Amino acid sequence: MDHNKLALPVGTTLDRFIMRKQEDFPYATGELSQLLRDIALAAKIVNREINRSGLIDIAGAYGNRNVQGEDQQKLDVIANIRFIRALRNGGEVCTIISEEDEDMIQTGNDQGKYVVAIDPLDGSSNIDVNVSIGTIFSIYRRVSPTGRPGTSADCLQPGTHQVAAGYVIYGSSTMLVYTTGNGVNGFTYEPSLGEFFLSHPDIQTPKTGAIYSINEGASDTFSPGVVAFVKHCKDASFSARYIGSLVADFHRNLLKGGIYIYPATGKAPKGKLRLMYECNPLAFIVEQAGGRSSDGYQRTLSIEPKDCHARCPIFIGSQDLVEQAEAFMAQETAPVAATLAST
């Protein structure tokens, strides 16, 4: 009998994978590896809180609104605290920008070489109905001198300057997916061992797909280009799949092929999603997986941020579908395009 079959390997842990990949960075001395571990630790803690949210009083509204004017859920606040605490205690991050805080958060680690932009709990309004939610993060190297607090210049870097980005999806299983600019890898959490294990190596998104994801409840205020592209999807018998949780919609389309769209609308004339901690990190990931992301006219990662909480439209997913959407947007009449740009 082959005794090895009695105890099959459990796979590659996230920690071991990070250490092996450290050589991808000629300038790395371990700080980025530690930072990714800090994020993974906070994700494990948030996963625990989410899984027991129906058993203790941490579901539902918190009673405040965040800087976006959105009602905070209790788990929004908990997740924000957990990630900020982990990043502060890790010592590698000088400054954090979070969806839940209006101002930059100085960690007190003035020697820290990195800045993190984070949406601690995306889709949190779905918590009470047990729909998948997530965390999205983006990592930059600071540009200001060390030894002092981080600056707005550190935080307002274009997406092309990201050194790492990722998301965690808390669903039927919990997964952490990230890139450091050398491909995309996914890790599934094994709760009995308390470890993330490599489950989706070298993720490549299909070049095309047959899924479109958009909130058609606002279709009366879509621009002509968006309306025409959605009609094109329907004429091609695409499947409409929209969960209302960005991470969940993006994750499905990343693996299966498709396009996610949150365009400019009458209610959100500049788009709803935030550039720094939603659009940029997911754009970095999708490009590393062979896909594409734009605001309908230009590459998402090339947009120059003007504010930590700036919003932008997004068309993200399979390369062919995003290019098709951009072609429809380019066909909009000049007066319509000019009107949208000025709103």
Which residues belong to the annotated binding site for Mg(2+)?
99, 119, 121-122, 278
CB 155 within 8 A of CB 308: yes
Output phi, psi for 139, to 5 deg: -125, 130
What whole-number distance in Å separates Cα of residue 241 and Cα of residue 256?
12
DSSP string, 9-43: ----BHHHHHHHHGGG-TT-SSHHHHHHHHHHHHH
Binding-site annotation: residue ranges:
99, 119, 121-125, 215, 242, 272, 278
CB 164 within 8 A of CB 157: no
Binding-site annotation: residue ranges for substrate:
122-125, 215, 242, 272
CB 256 within 8 A of CB 211: yes
> How far is CA 272 from its chain centroid?
14
Q: Angle at the Cα of 259 (from 254 to 262), degrees rounded to 5?
A: 115
Query: Which among 141, 133, 134 is positioned nearest to 117, based on CA atoms?
Result: 141
In SS3 terms, 107-176 reads as: CCCCCCCEEEEEEEEECHHHHHHCCCEEEEEEEEECCCCCCCCCCHHHHCCCHHHEEEEEEEEECCCEEE
3 state DSSP class of 188: strand
Token pair listed for 200:
């989706």
CB atoms within 10 A of CB 160: 14
